[in-house]
Amino acid sequence: MGRNAGGNKGISLRKSDYVIGVAVTPSEAARNRKRLELASKIDEANGITPESLSSRSSETQGSASPKPAASAKAKVSMVEQVQAAIAEMMRAKGNIPLELNGDSSETVIEAALPEAEVEKMEKLDKQLGLTPCLILTVSENGFGKRTDVDAYRLQSRGGKGVINMRTTPKIGKVSAIQLVDETTELMVISQFGKIIRIDTKTIRAAGRATMGVKLLDLDDADKVAAAVTIPNEEKSEDDKPLVQ
């Protein structure tokens, strides 16, 4: 596309709504590749191989002994199977209406995992030592929340989207969005010049359609002007968030 081209529509917006920011997130496939890489290292360190698992399984057959623990790679494979099953279910259903005045002509490319599965995945990622990918949303009245990227389904371009934050008069409109992990710090500044530095892991992780917690106490007429993340210079290359 040329310099002066108008571009393509990324999201269909309601009247008076507008885009306030973007966050580049890793794909599901990229996250699963990283999970398998970390799982392989854990299994190797624990001396777990397909041969050893097969041997342990044979030894416990017909006995009252407990079944051998699944390898880390097996747990990741189970996650991929759940993701594939949900994707297949969505393909079987075809086009479905979305949450915001759904358009029956819109295609959902990838379904979000159910909340229970997201919790299981968070637990597995913690065991693997995989850096979590969280979407931090900040409202103009100083409220914020973090939500795992796996809670958002992949949609076709031009879709109407899904509810990410409950914007009430108390919460205000969304002011900023950032991709964060457990090591990220945040700076929030208001229009009247009030500023605060926050460790984002102290911000409660919550589901998509929630209101969040107060990040900054503002005067009645004051609003959040901007929210930016502070890079952690002490991170090693392996610890940096997986962003494609």
Domain ranges of the chain: 28-47+69-239
Residue 238's Cβ-count burial label (10 Å; 0-12, 13-18, 19+) is exposed
Per-residue pLDDT tens over the stretch 12-67: 777 878 788 888 887 777 878 888 888 888 877 777 765 554 555 454 455 444 44
Per-residue pLDDT tens over the stretch 204-222: 888 777 888 999 999 989 9
Question: How many CB atoms within 10 Å of residue 186?
Answer: 22
Rounded mean pLDDT, 226-235: 77
Are 185 and 173 spatial neighbours (Cβ–Cβ below 8 Å)?
A: no
Per DSSP, what are the bridge partners of residue 179? Answer: 135
Residue of higher predicted confidence among 170 and 151: 170
Per-residue pLDDT band for 90 (boundaries 50, 70, 90) equals: low
Rounded mean pLDDT, 139-158: 84
pLDDT at 105 over 50: no
Per-residue pLDDT band for 112 (boundaries 50, 70, 90) equals: low
As a whole-number percent, the residues of the chain with pLDDT over 70 amount to 70
Residue of higher predicted confidence among 56 and 162: 162
**The token pair that represents 193 in the structure block:** 């010049």
pLDDT for the residue 104: 43
In Å, how far are 29, 75, 83, 135 from 110, measured between CA atoms?
12, 21, 9, 18
In Å, how far are 196, 216, 226 from 219, measured between CA atoms?
14, 10, 16
